[in-house]
């Protein structure tokens, strides 16, 4: 069953995420990136950022809750067993640092129906506590029919 194009523009409730130093450190070590900007609080205090910052790919951490909402949305009726991650693209606007309070919004921005595949893209737009955008991600998924 194809994903109905009427769902282009569909959004979900925004998700809030408070960034903490320990999560940043754990993530940096998990991706094997020991950059002192990410793990060394004393070093980070002396930088222009004044605190530990998150690696760019940390955006996947604060976006995951919204993707769970997309996949479990009964209205979309996605066949998750046949769903694969196609690609993701990010645009970064501001550095995310420890103590930031982030709010992420989501919406479907594209649905393409092919003979044996449905392809849909979800945009996640995240802003910080100052109302400034920190990143925009486009996640594209393929559902085999």
Cβ atoms of 70 and 12 within 8 Å: the answer is yes
pLDDT at 1: 67
Q: Which CATH number fits domain 7-19+54-144: 3.30.413.10, 3.10.129.10, 3.40.50.300, 2.40.110.10?
A: 3.10.129.10
pLDDT at 78: 92
List pLDDT tens digits, range 80-137: 999 999 999 999 999 999 999 999 999 999 999 998 999 999 999 999 999 999 999 9
Domain ranges of the chain: 7-19+54-144
What percentage of the chain exceeds 70 in pLDDT? 99
pLDDT at 145: 86
Task: Give whole-number Cα distances, 48 to 28, 37, 44, 53, 105, in Å.
Answer: 19, 10, 8, 11, 28
**102: buried, middle or exposed (CB in 10 Å: 19+, 13-18, 0-12)?**
buried
List pLDDT tens digits, range 31-47: 999 999 999 999 999 99
d(CA 127, CA 88): 19
d(CA 143, CA 117): 6
What percentage of the chain exceeds 90 in pLDDT? 92
Please say if the pLDDT value at position 28 is more than 70.
yes
Structure tokens at 62: 């604060």
- What's the chain's length in residues? 145
Could you identify the residue written with the tokens 């486009």?
138
pLDDT at 17: 97
pLDDT at 76: 92
Number of Cβ within 10 Å of residue 75's Cβ equals 8
* Helix (H) or strand (E) segment spanning residue 124: strand 117-127
Structure tokens at 4: 């109905």
pTM, rounded to two decimals: 0.89
Residues whose CB is less than 8 angstroms from the CB of residue 54 and which lie 6 or more positions away in sequence, other chains included: 19, 24, 27, 38, 95, 96, 97, 98
């Amino acid at each position: 069953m194809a994903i109905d194009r009427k769902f282009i523009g569909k959004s979900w409730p925004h998700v809030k995420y408070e960034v903490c130093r320990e999560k940043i450190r754990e993530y940096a070590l998990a991706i094997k990136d020991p950059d002192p900007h990410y793990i060394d609080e004393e070093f980070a205090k002396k930088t222009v950022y004044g605190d530990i910052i998150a690696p760019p790919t940390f955006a996947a951490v604060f976006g995951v809750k919204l993707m769970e909402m997309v996949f479990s949305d009964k209205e979309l009726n996605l066949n998750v067993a046949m769903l694969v991650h196609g690609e993701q693209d990010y645009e970064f606007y501001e550095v995310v640092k420890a103590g930031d309070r982030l709010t992420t919004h989501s919406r479907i921005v594209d649905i393409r129906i092919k003979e044996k595949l449905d392809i849909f893209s979800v945009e996640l737009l995240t802003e910080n506590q100052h109302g400034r955008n920190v990143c925009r991600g486009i996640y594209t998924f393929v559902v085999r029919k």
